[in-house]
Amino acid sequence: MLPLRIVSTARGKGAVPIFGRNRTRHRGVGALLRRASLAFSLAAGIFGACSAAFIGTSVARAADADSSMVAVPTAPLDLDGLFSKLKQAPDAESAAVTSRAIQQRWSHSGSDTADLLMQRADAALAGGDRPLAIEILDRLIAIDPDWAEAWNRRATIFFLEDDLSRSAADIQEVLAREPRHFGALMGLAGILERIGDDHKALEAYEKVLDVYPLLPSAQKAVERLKAHFNEVPI
């Protein structure tokens, strides 16, 4: 859980796009949260697709010729399977592909109405109308409060508005529904750095790496903070 004092002590300036998307780094260390594998740019169309494997026509024909041969299509991995694959990815490129598949799953609620509202919120944000995006997301969360990604979107906009207390509160809602949400964890770490709690920020970045070991932005943040602590006199 996010320390409650964040709600009352949040301060500082800076902007970050959607948690799990592009961020800028605060306090003179370059971009605050660089391209986290979620590649968060609303306007850029960030979510990749997770495709199922299909049996080729030659196999189907062979099955017709030999009734003893049964063609079994490969089912797409569920979220647990994708997270397992993400954790075991052999390199950053394959990990990024899996992370986009996870984001694709997160981006669909299962409700046409909720998905439409999300699309409208994204369009409003892409068009620079943050108040409208927040208004739409308020309605979306009211009708589908269990959709973690709706909370994540609103948390991101609050961060852009420099409203760290409400952003932090929404991040807690995201993580209560999906503790593995590496984008929300990156957002949490960024807020903790913004308020000067580098030790808690390091813990949050390390939680990201527990879920997504090859996320470059989290790896660099952990290295940077550990180096900072080693330079600080005891």
User: Taking residues 1-23, what's their average pLDDT?
Assistant: 44
154-165 pLDDT tens trace: 999 999 999 999
Least confident of 32-36, 96-100, 104-108, 117-121: 32-36
Residue percentage of the chain with pLDDT more than 70 = 66
- pLDDT of 10 higher than 80: no
Per-chain mean pLDDT for the chain: 77
Say what percent of the chain tops pLDDT 90.
64
3-state SS track over 51-93: CCCCCCHHHHHHHHHCCCCCCCCCCCCCHHHHHHHHHCCCCHH
Which of 7-11, 49-53, 187-191, 213-217 bottoms out in mean pLDDT, i.e. has the lowest? Answer: 49-53
Q: Which two tokens stand for residue 92?
A: 């950053």
38-47, 140-149, 187-196: which range is least confident on average? 38-47
Q: Which two tokens stand for residue 112?
A: 């046409």
What mean pLDDT is predicted for residues 21-42? 37
In order of their start, the domains of the chain are 19-231 (1.25.40.10)
Q: Tens digit of pLDDT for each residue in 200-212?
A: 999 999 999 999 9
Res 77: pLDDT: 82
* pLDDT given at position 44: 29
Cβ–Cβ under 8 Å, residues 72 and 155: no
Closest CA to 218 of 81, 96, 105, 48: 96
Q: Which of 26-30, 113-117, 191-195, 219-223 has the lowest mean pLDDT?
A: 26-30
Task: Tell me what the mean pLDDT of segment 26-44 comes to.
Answer: 34
Phi and psi angles of residue 19, each rounded to the nearest 5 degrees, phi first: -60, 125
Range with the lowest mean pLDDT among 67-76, 81-90, 96-105, 221-230? 67-76
